[in-house]
Amino acid sequence: MTQTFLRTGPGENSEVYRLASPMGNLHERMPPLWIAHGSEDSVVPVSQSREMVAALRKTGCDPIYHEARGIGHTMCECDPDGLPMEPWQLLFEPDLLRFIKNAVNEETSTG
């Protein structure tokens, strides 16, 4: 998917990949960040979020990070067979909504 989007492979043009990576664009004035990841994600390795959070903290940013143990890529509550439970409920939904409200309020008061 990344190769299709960037129209090149990492071995063909590593500079494009470096420029496209959020890791290469961190700075001390980052906006508020909320990051959530399932520890059993088979699509995107959880190590990527862990590394991103560590790098953000090195710049002085304080991201909110939630890691759901035993949860895959969907970030929904699942039954013991791994199937989404009904009704669908995103993990951390109340925290995410609070974060969005606070970020919007902060932006409108300073912007």
Considering the chain, what percentage of its residues have pLDDT values greater than 70? 86
Residue 70: what pLDDT?
A: 83
The helix (run of H) or strand (run of E) holding residue 98 is helix 93-110
* pLDDT for the residue numbered 92: 78
Q: Alpha-carbon distance 36 to 92, whole Å?
A: 8
Which pLDDT value is given to residue 38? 87
- The residue extents of the domains of the chain are 1-30, 32-110
Query: pLDDT in tens for each of the 111 residues of the chain?
Result: 778 888 888 888 888 888 888 888 899 888 889 999 989 888 889 999 999 999 999 999 989 999 988 888 876 667 777 776 665 566 777 888 888 888 888 767 766
pLDDT for the residue numbered 87 = 57
3-state secondary structure of 60: coil
Distance CA 14, CA 95 (A): 36
CA 23 to chain centre: 12
pLDDT of residue 76: 67
Say what the pLDDT of residue 18 is: 85
Residue 95 is predicted with a pLDDT of 85
